[in-house]
Chain A
């Protein structure tokens, strides 16, 4: 039983970022995402013994997260915009269908190195969006830009980081070959 529990926790740790991505997709708020993730963690630890070996852990965790998100929605007016059931269904499907896929989060170390190479203003732009969780509008207001300009700027930064991580992965592969 203890071995099962350890295995479950390891798997949970391995997929934690995917779960965070899922929660974030449903509520949009970075702080609340972290809160809910921690609550999911507590529930998973409390109910680890109830989890059937061989069952879909990610699906179980998403279910727990979804219930917590629904509860938060009922409490917070800001989250009403995310109560579109059709989109929630499709987001569920997106994560369910791609549960086994290797996503970019697998190259975290490369991503980290690329972020370190960013000029300070570019990093700050990313931080405002992905760390402070500001909306495009809020960032635009801070920087005196339009929302569209902020969106395009972020899109370019993401693209650059993605390419950078890809190049590093390829050059690393070549070096080790």
Chain B
């Protein structure tokens, strides 16, 4: 564990923003004596810093009101030595004189600019975020750290409190005269390199920014430029993602818009009539904060318009069809272009616009759409089951790749159970003989891998696998299942008989409960394990080589102890040859949730968003 990573986790912990993966890692550090020592040192150091800064600020008498006790605080006010009356009087005289000069300057400034045509009001985002100074803050080890160069001029703001950048700030375009005008309370320049260059003299383009790029992954663009986290999103701009892309935009009011892969959103706006956008194709997840009265968020597609007051929903658009799935709240869904037919879709319902059918809100979000890009295997007990009596001889792959699972030997064929959970069927494996074979292939995982399994494991099965690809002599296995313990979920990869490590989550597999398990392998080899949508472990393993894997097994391991076959019910398996984005993964988990669990009594640990 690097010091940088510890620092990062400590800071997130301090801000109360540890993710599940962070938490697991942070706990694993704190479980070591060295980690606890580092924590105690770090905490004491920060407390000392805090104290020194507090004392220093009080001494400078320039601190904000937060140095004084808040209203209702139990804190005792810091006693600050009173100034001599004479000194106070002199300061007051000086302040009055300064105010008079300031007023005169302001009047002169106003007169000289009166003849100019009014400038349009525009909103600007804060300056493009830059990395902190890459060099240490001191010039040499014996010299004091240099002051960062002057920061770019900023708009006046409330004393000592710059406006939050997420709120598009309304400022007038800067001009030389304005920049020289006295500022009532100049914001301290941030410690970074100046943005001012000779180009800064050129007139700037004005734009209204509706939000900020909060997170991204893979191919993600703002207009035709690669998106960058922290960058403002200009009004009217388009957002797009590639096959492996993901992009999240946060609005000033906290609303979020997440784009799944292969998605294009155009004309993003936020004006007097509310927020707006056009989903051209793909899928977006929207988490809308409560919108002001008369200013709803309106998202349109070619077929429909969704009017939002404050809710969570998924909107997906493809050629000829738009589908709305509402997770929370309510959305008015209106067919376009006539806009005469509309329906209010409430939580747990969906509606589809397309063709000429009536616009209807239907119960159930069971059909939350699993992304299809990169889907290599999709086995589900409610589709494609080929029975031989009550046993299953083949399980037809529902993806486009045709990786169907087969079992020729009757004694090794699992049973089909029509109502195993929530009215849904499952395949029942006996843990002694039953398993499936998969076709050769599964060769290209350069973009990562994501695997999902919904199962109800029986007790035991210490070495049983969900999936074990390439069990042959070349030893390029991709393994997802249990290892060394019936409750220990694991995922690991061999590359030419070598592995960088196995990622395991002890206590993850609970016997006799329906659970979803998933593993997400990023292209670099980093793995995150999930149970019921929540991250439960992370680590590194080898990156898979691109080779034709064979033979491939489902629910059986050829290595390990005697309990190498899965015992229990299997409902569904999805395998992607890419790392799904966070949004996409949450779609799949939400799909499982709606399909296999009673929404009124979800599992205690259930977290469809994984957040």
Please give the residue numbers on chain A whose beta carbons come within 8 Å of chain B beta carbons, in ascending order: 17-18, 20-22, 24-25, 28, 30-31, 34-35, 38-39, 78-82, 84, 86-87, 90-91, 93-95, 97-98, 101, 103-105, 108, 111-112, 115-127, 130-133, 135-138, 140-146, 148-164, 167
Contact = CB atoms under 8 A, between A and B. Distances in A.
Interface residues of B, number: 76
Nearest to B63: A131
B136 A160 contact: yes
29 contacts: A21-B44, A34-B75, A39-B74, A86-B27, A87-B23, A90-B27, A90-B30, A91-B39, A94-B39, A97-B37, A97-B40, A103-B41, A104-B48, A108-B48, A108-B51, A115-B56, A118-B137, A119-B137, A119-B191, A120-B188, A121-B148, A121-B151, A142-B162, A145-B190, A149-B130, A152-B132, A154-B11, A156-B132, A162-B45
Contacts of A154: 11
Given A91-B39, A148-B8, 16 more contacts: A17-B44, A20-B50, A24-B43, A24-B50, A31-B66, A34-B75, A39-B74, A78-B16, A87-B13, A98-B41, A101-B40, A105-B48, A121-B151, A122-B145, A142-B190, A162-B45
Contacts of A118: 137, 144-145
Contact of A160 (B4, B50, B138, B151): B138
Interface centre among A35, A101, A122, A150 (most CB of B within 10 A): A122
A38 B49 CA distance: 19
Interface stretch (B121-129, B379-387, B541-549): B121-129
B189 interface: yes
Contact of A131 (B7, B53, B74): B53
Contacts of B127: 144
B26 interface: yes
Contacts of A164: 138
Ordered nearest first, which 3 A-B pairs have the shortest CB separation? A81-B16, A144-B126, A153-B132
A44 to B, nearest CB: 15
Nearest to A117: B144
B136 A158 contact: no
Nearest to B131: A149
B132 A145 contact: yes
A18 B128 CA distance: 39
B17 interface: yes
A111 B275 CA distance: 49
B49 A111 contact: yes
Contact of A151 (B8, B37, B44, B50): B8
B462 to A, nearest CB: 26
Contacts of B67: 131
A6 to B, nearest CB: 21
Contacts of B31: 90
Nearest to A25: B43
Contacts of B54: 131
Contacts, number: 234
A82 B44 contact: no
A142 B163 CA distance: 7
Nearest to A146: B230
B141 A167 contact: yes
Contacts of A146: 129, 229-230
Contacts of A84: 18, 23
Given A141-B126, A142-B162, A136 B11 contact: yes
A24 B49 CA distance: 12
A117 B147 CA distance: 10
A98 B30 CA distance: 13
A17 B7 CA distance: 20
A48 to B, nearest CB: 19
B33 interface: yes
B359 to A, nearest CB: 39
B229 A144 contact: no
Given A87-B27, A132-B64, A140-B129, A35 B36 contact: no
Contact of A130 (B4, B50, B126, B189): B50
B137 A115 contact: no
